[in-house]
């Protein structure tokens, strides 16, 4: 119970300080391209703590009816937790020196540890469901998203334990790599039938972030190898990414926004590291192709979290060229979601009940847009 009161106090102080910094985040005389994204972020954050957080366990419910015990699986799967962790990272970047922001990151990191499986060989990793409640399949992509968030938390807190967690995750996902189908990482542990863009793109980003943090050449080498394999197998002539390749040679050409988004970010990171203009040009081409393919009518597909990862790519590109073209297009979409797909309780989404994943996605989206709007740490 003491832990709950501490966390509740942290949230209260966090919200008060965020509210108080509005005037600082909206710089005077700066081009006004956003529409109150900080306010929207705060409202979504409040709802997550109100409807989805279980103070007794430090776990989150899968949907907004979880507190009523109506979900088949009461608590969230790992994927939404990883999404929420990244969203909290983006919130913290708006004020990285705020100790309360760091305490929120510590809390969500403790939540993630409840999915940790240290016993299953060949390497420790994170189960798809709470370990003490039965655990579940270990997905390489879910672990990769979590690893990326851990690296980012390390960059904010400078606590080496988070870097160790990210490195441990990387060691786990590499157990899913082999030379069948020419290389690449499988989608999930124990399933040797399919390799996906979503299990390889984020592996590239994780490896590059680890290289930037540790300067260990091995991470850069692996990133290049997986990057090349992903491009060879999944980059379509249209300039977006197909979904997966099966062991029988069948190629699934379904396109999702996050597959292209994560590869935009990968190219931006490669450019930041190598200064090779080929990567910058690739990032710009992918961004342009993504707009034509996914948002020709000005509106992105329905899966918010996939779109949040696409925004990660746009923001990474913006950090290089300072061109807000793609950010502006995405901001228009985010404002329309707020106006048209939000209920009377400020819960977002067309689905009933409302998934935590959707709220986490929109929290990340509004936080990232607020960064670009007001010069948060990630906009520099």
Of 205, 313, 319, 316, the closest CA to residue 257 belongs to 313
**Order of all β-strands in the sheet with 244-246:** 194-196, 244-246, 251-252
341: closest CA among 302, 309, 368, 305?
A: 302
- Alpha-carbon gap, residue 163 to 145, rounded angstroms: 14
Q: In whole angstroms, what is the distance from residue 352 CA to residue 71 CA?
A: 12
Predicted local confidence at residue 35, as pLDDT: 58
DSSP track, 3-32: HHHHHHHHHHHHHHHHHHTHHHHS-TTS--
pLDDT at 69: 76
pTM of the model: 0.92
Asked whether residue 60 carries a pLDDT value surpassing 80, the answer given is: yes
pLDDT for 98 equals: 84
What string of DSSP letters covers 198-254? Answer: GGTHHHHHHHHHHHHHH--HHHHHHHHHHHHHHHHHHB-TTSSB--EEETTS-EE--
Q: Round the average pLDDT of the chain to a whole number and report it.
A: 91
Distance CA(18)–CA(12), nearest Å, equals 10
Q: In percent, how much of the chain has pLDDT > 90? A: 84
Q: Compute the average pLDDT of residues 250-265.
A: 98
Name the residue among 78, 17, 59, 76 with its Cα closest to residue 42.
17
Cα–Cα distance, 270 to 344 (Å, whole number): 43
| pLDDT for the residue numbered 298 | 87
Cα separation, 272 vs 321, in Å, equals: 11
The predicted pLDDT at position 157 comes to 95
Find the mean pLDDT for residues 302-325.
97
pLDDT over threshold 60, residue 25:
no
Beta bridge partners of 235: 241
Q: Calculate the alpha carbon distances from 117 to 11, 121, 123, 143 in Å.
A: 29, 9, 9, 12
DSSP output for 128-152? SS-GGGT--PPBHHHHHHHHHHHHH
Q: Dump pLDDT digits (tens) for 205-232.
A: 999 999 999 999 999 999 999 999 999 9
Q: Taking the alpha carbons of 73, 77, 83, 84 in that order, is the dihedral positive or negative?
A: positive
Residue 16: pLDDT over 60: no
Q: Give pLDDT, residue 14.
A: 56
Helix (H) or strand (E) holding 320: helix 304-321
Residue appearing with tokens 């091995």: 218
Average pLDDT, integer, range 331-358? 96
pLDDT at residue 62 is higher than 60:
yes
Helix axes 356-374, 304-321, angle to 10 degrees: 20
Collect all residues with Cβ–Cβ distance below 8 Å to 306 and sequence separation of at least 6: 256, 257, 258, 261
For the chain, first and last CA: distance in Å?
40
pLDDT, tens only, 68-80: 877 677 899 999 9
Phi, psi angles (nearest 5°) of residue 342: -120, 135
pLDDT band at 8, cuts 50/70/90? low
As a whole-number percent, the residues of the chain with pLDDT over 70 amount to: 89
Q: Residue 97 — very low, low, confident or very high, per pLDDT cuts 50/70/90?
A: confident
């Amino acid at each position: 119970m003491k832990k709950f009161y501490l966390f509740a106090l942290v949230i209260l102080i966090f919200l008060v300080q965020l509210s108080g910094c509005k005037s600082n985040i909206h710089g005077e005389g700066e081009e006004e391209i956003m529409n109150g994204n900080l306010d929207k972020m705060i409202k979504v954050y409040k709802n997550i703590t109100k409807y989805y957080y279980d103070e007794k366990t430090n776990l989150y419910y899968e949907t907004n009816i979880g507190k009523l015990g109506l979900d088949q699986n009461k608590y969230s799967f790992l994927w939404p937790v990883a999404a929420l962790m990244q969203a909290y990272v983006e919130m913290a970047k708006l004020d990285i020196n705020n100790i309360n922001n760091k305490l929120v990151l510590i809390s969500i990191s403790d939540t993630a540890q409840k999915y940790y499986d240290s016993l299953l060989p060949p390497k420790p990793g994170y189960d798809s469901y709470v370990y003490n409640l039965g655990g579940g399949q270990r997905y390489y992509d879910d672990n990769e998203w979590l690893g990326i968030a851990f690296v980012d938390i390390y960059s904010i807190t400078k606590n080496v334990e988070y870097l160790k967690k990210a490195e441990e995750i990387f060691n786990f996902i590499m157990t899913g790599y082999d030379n069948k189908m020419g290389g690449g990482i499988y989608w999930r542990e124990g399933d040797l039938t399919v390799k996906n863009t979503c299990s390889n793109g984020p592996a590239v980003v994780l490896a590059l972030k680890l290289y930037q943090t540790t300067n260990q050449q091995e991470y850069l080498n692996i990133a290049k190898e997986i990057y090349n394999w992903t491009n060879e197998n999944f980059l379509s002539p249209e300039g977006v990414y197909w979904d997966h390749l099966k062991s029988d040679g069948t190629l699934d050409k379904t396109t999702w926004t996050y597959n292209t988004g994560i590869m935009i970010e990968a190219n931006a990171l490669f450019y930041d590291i190598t200064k090779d203009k080929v990567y910058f040009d690739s990032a710009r081409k992918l961004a342009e192709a993504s707009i034509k393919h996914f948002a020709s009518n000005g509106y992105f597909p329905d899966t918010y979290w996939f779109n949040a990862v696409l925004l990660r790519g746009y923001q990474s590109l913006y950090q290089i060229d300072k061109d807000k073209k793609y950010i502006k297009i995405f901001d228009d979409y985010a404002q329309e979601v707020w106006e048209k797909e939000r209920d009377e309780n400020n819960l977002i989404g067309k689905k009933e009940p409302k998934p935590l994943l959707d709220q986490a996605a929109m929290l990340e989206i509004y936080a990232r847009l607020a960064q670009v709007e007001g010069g948060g740490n990630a906009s520099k």
